[in-house]
Structures are given as structure tokens and as C-alpha cells.
């Protein structure tokens, strides 16, 4: 897998650590649980989007762009990391924030990621729920072109084949850590949303012929729809990586039983997972993605879904800044 063929900037503190979760494994009495610390990728307090942004900014800069345009929910981690990356490379940045989560508290609307967006100098444009985001991004680009700017659009979550290359790179990084550690029977579990993280990992592992199972815990879409979306992006990403571009259907696995009411709406099991990780491992999860994904992993361990000799690696994709947007719910859940 020859990733140096693609334009890339360096943003991430990598390789990120792969650490055993000894106290959590013991408490749950399950398989060997590990955590891959992609919450520690550096820029903007870290997170998975920095991986994608290395290739997305590489492409934007190679194309002569001077402004990035992206979008997400109000508490988007992706938008926050994009704003920081734009600042680091001297680019302008516009973020379209969709008011699609029914949390109408000052902490949610202005705290957490939104505070950091403002500190990074992001130009925020708020759009109503249900806005057709691809069209809104294109409209914004058109306006900027009219002002003589050269915009580069990063669609929701940075989940294009270019963004997914960042997680093909992580597949290589993980494989080399598994080899160094002598880790056998490894499988990976993580939060899946716009799908680029899972698609990149699957495309990377499949291209490398690693045979490592990846399970995405959905934070929004229902299982069949999410698997279809990830499969299509994994195939397109694998095609860019070279080789046959073939992805085995069974390589794309999604569990959508832990979304709760909807994307971004907190759940009691998320709050349990957040506090459990904090109190056993000292690690912070987030309320929208990793908290729900860890709740899914814990439920599977409790249901006996893994054999004791398996090494289950939870890919921590970041997002802790979002905790501050959900202060009222989390405080209530701990009372
Ligand atoms: C913290 C966190 N975890 C996971 C994800 C999901 O990644 P993807 O959109 O690549 O599926 C996101 C996406 O915004 C995120 O912010």
C-alpha cells in the first residue's frame, strides 16, 4: 500500500499509543480489551478527523485552495478539527452547522466544540435541520468563488475516498503494532457515523490481506443503510489504493442497537460507559460517538460475544470536547 503517492500534510502525532485496558477487562471479565488512542492525534485536542485531514488538506493545497468549507452538527468534532487544520496551514475556513440535534441548552449551542470553533476563527454559518448539505456546501463555494476565493469542499465528516486514506494509513499502523506486540486474534471496534473511518480501515486491512475484523457501532443510521454506505466507500477507497479493490462483504459489519432515540441524543448506557471508562482507566470518552460505541462494546462483552482469548481493540476516535456541550445531561445522569 503505497500512500506516499497521495498529497499529504503532516498533522497527527502518530503512531498513537495502543494500550491495554487491564482494569476494565478485569471488571467485565471478558476478552483482553485494548484501546487505540486516536483521541491523542494532537491538533485541536486530537481525534479521528486529523487522520483524514492529512490527505484532504494535501489535496486542497495541491489544488491551490485558499479556503476550506465543511459542515456538521452544532457540536461537530469534525468541524472543530478542520478549523484548526485550516488555521495551521493559513487557509480560511467556513463551517455550516446544522441545527439537527434537539438539545437546546446554552452549553450545547455555545460551549464545547463551538467555543473552540470560535477560538480557531471559524466563520460559522448556521443552517436549519434538514438542509441538503451537499447543495448548501456548493452554494457557499459559489459565493466564495464570486469573491475571488478558491474554496475546497470537505463533505460531512471528511468521508470521501481521500479522507478515508487516513484510516487506510491507520490500518497499516495498527498492523505493525499488532506485529510488534505479538497480538493474535485481534479485532477492532469503533464508532461509525459518516463512514470514512470504517471504510478506510476496512479498505486498508482488506488490501493488506490482514483478515482483521472491524465492527462499527452506529451513532445514527440503521445497520443495513450504514453497511451499504461503508461498503461503497471502502470499495472506492480500495480501488484508489490499487490491488484488486475487492472488499469481502463480510468485512463490513455494523451494529446499530446503541443509537438510542437519534444521532446526538444522549442515552443512559452512554453515560454509564463514559463514567465507567473514566473510573477504571482514567480515559475520557465523548457523548455522541465513543460513549455510544463503548456502550455497544460493553453490551457485547456482557452478552458473551467474545472468547476470552480474543484481543478486542477499541479505536478511540476522540470527541471529548463534546462532553462540555452535554453538561446538564451528564450531571443529571451521575446524580
Ligand atoms: C469522535 C468521533 N468519533 C467517530 C466519528 C465517526 O467517524 P466517521 O464519520 O468517519 O464514521 C466522528 C465523526 O464525526 C467523531 O467525531
19-72: per-residue pLDDT in tens? 999 999 999 998 999 999 999 999 999 999 999 999 999 999 999 999 999 999
pLDDT digits (tens, 9 = 90+) for 220-236: 999 999 999 999 999 99
CB 82 near ligand 1, within 6 Å = no
Q: Cα-atom radius of gyration of the chain, to the nearest Å?
A: 19
Q: Which of 76, 159, 221, 256 is catalytic?
A: 76
| Residue 256 annotated to the active site | no
The pLDDT of 297-302, averaged and rounded, is 98
pLDDT digits (tens, 9 = 90+) for 316-326: 999 999 999 99
pLDDT-derived band at 105 (thresholds 50, 70, 90) equals confident
Could you tell me the distance, in angstroms and rounded to a whole number, from the CA of residue 288 to the centre of ligand 1? 9
Percent of the chain at pLDDT exceeding 90: 95
Q: Which CA distances in Å does 263 have to 56, 72, 138, 232, 269?
A: 25, 12, 24, 22, 14
Domains of the chain: 3-48+160-334 (3.40.50.1100), 63-158 (3.40.50.1100)
**133-156 b/e with 16+ CB inside 10 Å = b?**
beebbeebbeebeeeeeebbbbbb
In the prediction, which pLDDT does 104 show?
76
Could you tell me the distance, in angstroms and rounded to a whole number, from the CA of residue 35 to the centre of ligand 1? 16
Residue 333 has pLDDT above 90, yes or no: yes
Nearest to 155 by CA among 96, 202, 241, 239: 96
| Burial class for 77, CB neighbours closer than 10 Å (0-12, 13-18, 19+) | buried
In the prediction, which pLDDT does 162 show?
98
Gap between the Cα atoms of 285 and 276, Å rounded: 10
In the prediction, which pLDDT does 244 show?
81
Residue 245 has pLDDT above 90, yes or no: no
The C-alpha cell of 107 is what?
452549553
Nearest to 103 by CA among 66, 73, 58, 140: 73
- pTM equals 0.98
CB 70 near ligand 1, within 6 Å = no
Q: Considering only CA atoms, which residue is closest to atom 3 of ligand 1?
A: 317
CB 289 near ligand 1, within 6 Å = yes
CB 191 near ligand 1, within 6 Å = yes
CB 318 near ligand 1, within 6 Å = yes
Amino acid at each position: 500500500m503505497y500512500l506516499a503517492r497521495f498529497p499529504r500534510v503532516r498533522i497527527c502525532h502518530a503512531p498513537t499509543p495502543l494500550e491495554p485496558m487491564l482494569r476494565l477487562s478485569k471488571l467485565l471479565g471478558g476478552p483482553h480489551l485494548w484501546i487505540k488512542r486516536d483521541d491523542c492525534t494532537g491538533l485541536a485536542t486530537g481525534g479521528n478527523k486529523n487522520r483524514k485531514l492529512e490527505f484532504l488538506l494535501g489535496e486542497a493545497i495541491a489544488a491551490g485552495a485558499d479556503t476550506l468549507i465543511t459542515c456538521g452538527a452544532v457540536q461537530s468534532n469534525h468541524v472543530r478539527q478542520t478549523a484548526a487544520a485550516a488555521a495551521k496551514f493559513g487557509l480560511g475556513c467556513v463551517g455550516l452547522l446544522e441545527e439537527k440535534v434537539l438539545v437546546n441548552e446554552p452549553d450545547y449551542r455555545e460551549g464545547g466544540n463551538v467555543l473552540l470553533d470560535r477560538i480557531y476563527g471559524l466563520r460559522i454559518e448556521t443552517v436549519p435541520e434538514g438542509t441538503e448539505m451537499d447543495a448548501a456546501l456548493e452554494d457557499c463555494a459559489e459565493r466564495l468563488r464570486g469573491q475571488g476565493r478558491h474554496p475546497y469542499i470537505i463533505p460531512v465528516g471528511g468521508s470521501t475516498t481521500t479522507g478515508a486514506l487516513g484510516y487506510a494509513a491507520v490500518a497499516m499502523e495498527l498492523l505493525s503494532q499488532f506485529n510488534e506486540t505479538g497480538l493474535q486474534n485481534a479485532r477492532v471496534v469503533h464508532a461509525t457515523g459518516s463512514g470514512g473511518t470504517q471504510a478506510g480501515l476496512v479498505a486498508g486491512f482488506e488490501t493488506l490481506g490482514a483478515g482483521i475484523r472491524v465492527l462499527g457501532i452506529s451513532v445514527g443510521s440503521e445497520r443495513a443503510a450504514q453497511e451499504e454506505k461503508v461498503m461503497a466507500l471502502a470499495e472506492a477507497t480500495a480501488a484508489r489504493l490499487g490491488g484488486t479493490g475487492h472488499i469481502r462483504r463480510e468485512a463490513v459489519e455494523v451494529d446499530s442497537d446503541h443509537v438510542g432515540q437519534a444521532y446526538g441524543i444522549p442515552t443512559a448506557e452512554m453515560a454509564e460507559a463514559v463514567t465507567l471508562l473514566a473510573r477504571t482507566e482514567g480515559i475520557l470518552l465523548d457523548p455522541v460517538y465513543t460513549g455510544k460505541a463503548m456502550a455497544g462494546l460493553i453490551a457485547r462483552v456482557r452478552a458473551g460475544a467474545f472468547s476470552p482469548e480474543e484481543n478486542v481493540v477499541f479505536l478511540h476516535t476522540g470527541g471529548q470536547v463534546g462532553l462540555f456541550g452535554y453538561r446538564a445531561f451528564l450531571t443529571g445522569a451521575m446524580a
